[in-house]
Amino acid sequence: CATPQYIGGEPAASMFERVGRFAVSADIPGEPQQAAQGGFAWQDAGKVLKVDLATPMGATLARVQVQPGHARLTPAEGDEIHAATADALLEQVLGSPVPVAQLRYWLRGQLGPEPAQEVKLDEQKRPESFRQEGWSVVLSRYDTQGPRLLRLSRQEAGRQISVRLVVDASQP
């Protein structure tokens, strides 16, 4: 049978793909707010995670690739940036942490492996809100693959950090 057309990756049994928009903002009292907003294309093939960040008019700004123990960001222009984890990488680039490792679970509507607190489930027993790894997480607008609206917030050293992801409704 025809192999489904994957974007640039070989077909993987557990390929989880999501496309949508993100907004990250960290307001630090007394400092100009740091923020980023744009589109994302998320491809999680288990071992390798690839996330493309794009402008509204479609131009890819940067590509993040994560393997166990290594994360790399390739910007549209300029040199690559490397870090041990994607979380550290994005903190360096966006100025505020983005829990990429956890999002691999949260985007599928699952809790991460670490302990979670104050877990509330919706009527279909899917995680609706909880605290995990220092983040307060609200998941909503579920479809068959997972939540389509993720609102994350974190209070850390006097900074209020907000990460919001919305998954586009109709997939290609």
Partner 1 sequence: QDAAAQLRHFIENVSAASGEFHQKSADRAPQEGRFAFQRPGKFRWETTHPHEQLIVSDGTTVRQYDPDLAQVTERPANTSLGSSPAAILFGSGRLEDAFTLAALPDDDGLQWLRATPRQADAGFQYLDIGLRKQQPVRLLLRDAFDKTTYIELGGMTLNPSLDDSQFTLQVPADADIVQLR
Query: Applying CB under 8 A, which residues contact partner 1?
Result: 7, 19, 21-23, 25, 32-37, 39, 41, 52, 54-61, 63, 74, 76-78, 95, 149, 164, 166, 168-172
In terms of CB distance, is 76 or 84 closer to partner 1?
A: 76
For residue 169, the 8-state DSSP code is S
In terms of CB distance, is 52 or 128 closer to partner 1?
A: 52
For residue 158, the 8-state DSSP code is T
DSSP string for 77-114: SS--EEESSHHHHHHHHHSS---HHHHHHHTTT---SS
In the bound complex, what is the minimum distance in angstroms from residue 113's beta carbon to partner 1? 28
Q: Are 163 and 22 in contact (CB under 8 A)?
A: yes
In the bound complex, what is the minimum distance in angstroms from residue 167's beta carbon to partner 1? 9
In terms of CB distance, is 86 or 163 closer to partner 1?
A: 163
Q: Are 22 and 167 in contact (CB under 8 A)?
A: no
